[in-house]
Structure formats: structure tokens, C-alpha cells
Structure 1
């Protein structure tokens, strides 16, 4: 009998065949199952040898690691995560991934299993945005598992499942913004106006310091943001992303309100916070919400209006004023075009403005060329529509 070059095959008392092979770590490993014929066992060994030679081999012990165990290690090994992101990841894993998939070995996860898991989240009432976040986190974890050679491929490839499709938020009018600002506690009036006219996030406003605002130049420098953790702890750190570090030029309309706010509510000192609570403490969204709700009601607006809608409103105002995609990305503090593109709307009023501007531009070109639409001496005048 010819000795096999790679691996061993033996016939079991049951009549089936078992295959074994030496792993690259020197451990003798059996195939995960037995085979009905010796030919089947031999074919399996040939494929396993090819995996070893092409460095595609995966350690079965690592591949059997439970998903939750690997996911927690994945999160722990990302020390650069911002506190709010860390809280988000742990919450998504604990509440939406681990209950269903946590005990599953990595190598048993399949596309059909993940489709069923995702559908169960949606059917159970979880919002589509949170479901997309959970799916995107799982996909990132399993991408790293592929890189770590713990699984051969990432089973997360449901088209569109990682895309957040938030419902369109309302855009306020200038009059509505001023109604809210007039109805809120006076110390928060400038906060409301700056959120809209500067397109700032809540955390950026709460982290704003005296040294960050130049009233003479009308510029706000975004260099830090406040984050309120679920534990109630407030932390001041860098903005949400590198793109969040930016200078925002303000419209004149808000400068006088800011100047008055500084005179009354901002303490001396470069590091004094611009917006604080009644007792001078850092702003907390939970405390501010009561004042916000009262102001929205007083303004006779729906209770579904969120503070973040002021930023959304400001972005729309900037787009309607003629901001380019690059302008919006800079103003919003986004590195990706995805968020900014939604504000480049095609509106009838904007189209009429562009048409009028083009008409004036083309008239200027025609005059510069010496072209007269009423003359056709050289046959090169602009054509006149037939009226058909």
C-alpha cells in the first residue's frame, strides 16, 4: 500500500472513513466529520493541503470562538474610540447582537442566519436606524475576523442593510426659530440662534469656550465638544471627527445676540464656557430639554421638533444661499459627502434664480461677442425658437 504524502485515512468500525492531518502548528487534527468513502476523505485532504500551501488555512479552534467573546475583545482592542462611540458599541452588542448570536461560533455564522437575525430585530420593533447600526457593527467585527484568519469570509453582505435611512427632519423658517428663541429662558436665546445660524451640534455648543468665539470677526472655532455618558458623567474632548475641527463664519444677524449673551452670562477667562446652566455648570441635554419643550410649545410648533433640527435648518439655509457641496462639508464638519449631499436640493425657487443668472451671463457673452439676435448678416446669430 502506497503511503500518503499528506495526512492519514483510516476506516472506522462503522464503515466510514476518518481523515487526519498535521496543522502548521504541529497539532494533529481530524476532519470535522467522517466520510462515506475513502475517495471522499482523500479529496478532503487534498483540499486541506491546498489551504495550507496557499496560507488560507484557518485554525478550527479559533474559528469556533463564540461571537460575543470575539466581539468584546474587538471593542476592547480599540482604545482610540470616543466615549460616546464606546457606549454605543457596547449597547448594540449587549442589547441587539449577543442575545441572538452571541453564543454562535464564528465559523457557523451564515448569510441566511444573519438575514433572519436582522429581520427579527425589525419585526420586534427596533428602529431601522438602530438596526442598521447593529448590522454595521457586526459587519466590522467579522471583517476583522477574516483578517485575523478566524473565518474564511464575512457573511454580512445583505445589500443596503448597513445604510441608515432616517426620516426627513423638518426645516424651520427664520420666524419659527426666532419664536423659539423668544420663548425660551433668556440665557438660552443665543444658544438657539447659534445652533441654527452656525449649524453646530449640541456637544459642540456645550463645549464652546470664550476663546473660541471672535465677535469682531464673526467666527466660531470648533475645537472641542461635550459628551454626556449614560452614567451622567460629562466629558470634554475633541469634536466628533477630525473634520469637526473647523472655523464657522456667522451671519451678522446673530452677532448682536451673542454680544449681549457674553456681557450677561459668560464669565471672564479664556476657558469659560459660553453656554452654561442657571448655576453656572456645564450644559446637560437632559436638563435643557425641559426649557426646550416649553419654548417649542410656546412657539406653537409640534412637540416632535428636536434641538438638532436647528442644525438641519441651518444646513438648508446655507444650501439655499448657494453653498457648494464643499462649503457644506466644511460648515457641517463632515469628511464624507454623504451627509452634505442631502442638503443640495433642487428647488423651483433656486432653479429660477439659476436660470435668471444664466440669462444675464449669456447676455453678457453675446454682447462681448458682438452678436445681435436681431441681425443675421453672417448667419452666426443666436437661433430664434420657432414657437412650435
Structure 2
């Protein structure tokens, strides 16, 4: 019997006498009903139910019942990886393989429920740090959202899940005297690098990627256009984090030191300011790990305890926020949102809270003096009236 088209979908009678229903799903593919029907009316009723599910966003692709979390996560990863930086690709792949796949990989997309996600988060919390748990959950949430957007499931199971709290870990903010003491202990090249981090607010990867063409000594400016990322297979140079290219004006004394360093380097715009430490290796950037080892030695010698290169960036943010406001600090650090600056970098300078209290004391005293003066002024006319 010929196929009969309906307002939604179509039905046809098979040689066996049973009726088959088919429809075109939101995914653009043709889907047959999972079973055949004894009557044409039952086949049409099935199409009506499917049409309602699609209209109300409840439709699930028939293939969802067969697709596992691991299979969909791999499809999602391969479709999106071209948009990510190398470090992000490496990090996401590691989280999928270590934290998501072994626990949830074999579960069918349609079978994954919030209670299962909650149990997974609880188990992970016993095995890895809170930051890794939260990273894994955010990644799973992205994978599940893509499944919803592609009509594999009607709603994400990543909802209503309580995540472990991150421990409070404020950056170490140094004073100008401490930074100068630290830089003075460093060898000449490392001294320039330390001062760029503290007085320019650069990330260590941005500083190591600086080339001659990025530096305008005459006008005291540096252009942050590239960054070195450390991967398992070796360093990779790309754009800065969030692709935020920016130009910065540096203090004169830092510019002079940069100029002196450039004067000892070969010509050419591609020459790295902080090139390899072996002879004739200015065509590649210095090793971060080597600098990190020397930095720890200098920090210990300066008596500063546990200070990292990233703390110098936070120090710069705090200095600038304290003197010129958070918005200026955010621009210098390359943050599109100033809340990132205050949440992760800028902190109140030591002693600033005491200064605030002293200022409020002065305000209160001034108000009290003014109030007493008004009362005294009110008494004078009264006394004059009594004398008359």
C-alpha cells in the first residue's frame, strides 16, 4: 500500500498488515517508530505524541538510547577542539580520560540522572582536589548541554548538584621594597624578568614570549601579543589568554633595563628578550622551569618564604588598584571583566584597612566638633536675650 502523508510525518501499511510511522526529527533526520502498529489510527496517534514532544521540547533522539556518555563526549570534543588553545585541549582531554570516562563513560546519555552525577561528584571529592572536581563537573556540564542542544536528551542531568568548596588561597602581595630586594638578588636577565612581572603585571608566559618587535623602548611601551604555554610535549607559543592583546606603558627604570638587555642581543624583530640560556639560542624562548628553579633560590635568599612568579602579577594588580582603581588594574592585566581582577588578583594593601579606620575616626571627630559648634552658636542668642 502506498505511503500516506500526514500533517506531521507519514504512515504506510506493510505487507504483513502492520502499520509503520515515520517522521523527520529536529535533527533533520528521518526516524521510524521503534515498533509497528496494528492499525493506521494507532500509527497516527504515535505521530501526534511525537509532534507534541517536539513542540514542548521533550523530544529525545532515538539514537540517544544507544549513545554512551563517553561516545558523546568524544564527538563533542572533536567538534569543538579547533576553537580551543592547545593548553585547553590538553586539559579537557585529560579530564575526560581521567575523571569522567572511567566513572560515567559507559552510562547511556538518556540514563544519566542528577542523582548519578551527584554520586559521581561525591566519589571524586574523596579522590582528587576540590578544584579538579569542579573542573570535571563544569566539563561534564558542557558535554551534557551540547547533548540537549543536539536533541539527544531533553534536559541536562547536571543540575542541583552541590560542589565542594574551594579552599581560600589569597595570593602573596609584596611591597615595593620586597620586590626590589628580590630583583636585586636575581642575576641580570632574571632581574629584568622579575621587574616586568611586578611593574607590568604580565603573566610569566607572556613575558617569556616577548620579542624585540614587541618592545618600544623609546616610548616606554610593551605590546603583549603572544604567550608561551607549557604542554606535556613541550612549550607552544600562541595568543595570550582569552586572546587579549594589549599595550602597556612601563616605568622608566624598567624600560631602561629592558633597553640595556636588548642592546646585548642580536638584531631582528623575532629575537626573544628572554631567549635560551645556551649560546646562540635567542631564536627560542627561555625555559620556564629553569627560571622557576632560579626564582625559588632568589626568593629563599631574600627571606620571602613561599612566593611564586604569579604572585608578582597579583602584586602589580594590588598596587594599581590601590592607586588608580580596579578598572585600570583590569585593563593592565588584560581582564575583560574587573570582577576577575578583584576575585583572583587584587588585594587590599597592608595597612590600608588601618588608614580607612583612621579616616573614619577623623570624619566622626569632625562631625562631633561641627555638632558642638552648632549647639554653642544656638546658646549665644539665648544668652543675649536673657541679658536684655
In the TM superposition, residue 292 of structure 1 has moved relative to its aligned partner by 1.5
**Structure 1 position 254, deviation (Å):** 2.3
CA contact (8 A) 2:225 2:245 kept: yes
Q: How far did residue 352 of structure 1 move?
A: 6.3
1:291 deviates by 1.1
Deviation per CA, 1:285-323: give whole Å up to 9, x if none: 222222122112211222x322111111111111111x3
Matching residue of 1:236: 237
Note the aligned Cα RMSD (angstroms). 3.6
Map of 2:271 onto structure 1: 272
Residue pair 1:204, 1:222 contacting (<8 A) in 2 also: yes
Instruction: Tell me what 2:88 maps to.
Output: 85
CA contact (8 A) 1:208 1:224 kept: yes
Deviations 1:269-288 (A, max 9, x none): 22211112311341222222
User: For 1:246 and 1:77, how far apart are their aligned partners in 2?
Assistant: 30
Q: How many residues align?
A: 339
Question: Could you tell me how far apart the structure 2 residues matched to 1:299 and 1:30 are?
Answer: 77
User: Once the 2 structures are TM-superposed, how far is the Cα of residue 354 of structure 1 from its aligned partner?
Assistant: 7.5
Q: Which residue of 1 aligns with 2:288?
A: 285
Compared with structure 1, are the counterparts of its residues 107 and 120 closer, same or farther at alpha carbon in structure 2 (3 Å cutoff)? same
Question: 1:228 is paired with a residue of what secondary structure?
Answer: strand
Structure 2 alignment gaps of length 5 or more:
1-8, 12-19, 25-29, 37-44, 367-371, 379-388
Q: How does 1:181-330 map to 2 (within 5 A)?
A: 181-232=183-234, 234-242=235-243, 244-264=244-264, 266-279=265-278, 280=281, 281-302=284-305, 304-321=306-323, 323-330=324-331
Aligned pair partner of 1:119 in 113, 116, 122: 122
Going by fraction, where is helix more abundant, 1 or 2? 2
Task: Mark the runs of 5 or more structure 1 residues left unpaired by the alignment.
Answer: 1-5, 9-19, 32-42, 363-372, 380-388
Q: What TM-score do you get using the length of structure 2 for normalisation?
A: 0.76
Aligned partner of residue 236 in structure 1, secondary structure: strand
Asked if structure 2 preserves the Cα contact closer than 8 Å seen for 1:136 and 1:162, the reply is no
Q: Over residues 228-264 of structure 1, what are the superposed CA-to-partner deviations in whole Å (9 max), with x where a residue is unaligned?
A: 22112x322211113x211112223423332332233
Q: SS of 1:208's equivalent?
A: coil
CA distance in 2 between partners of 1:85 and 1:324 (Å): 31
Deviation at 1:112, TM superposition (A): 1.2
3-state SS of paired residue (2:304)? coil
| Residues 54 and 291 (structure 1), Cα distance of their counterparts in 2 relative to 1, 3 Å cut | same
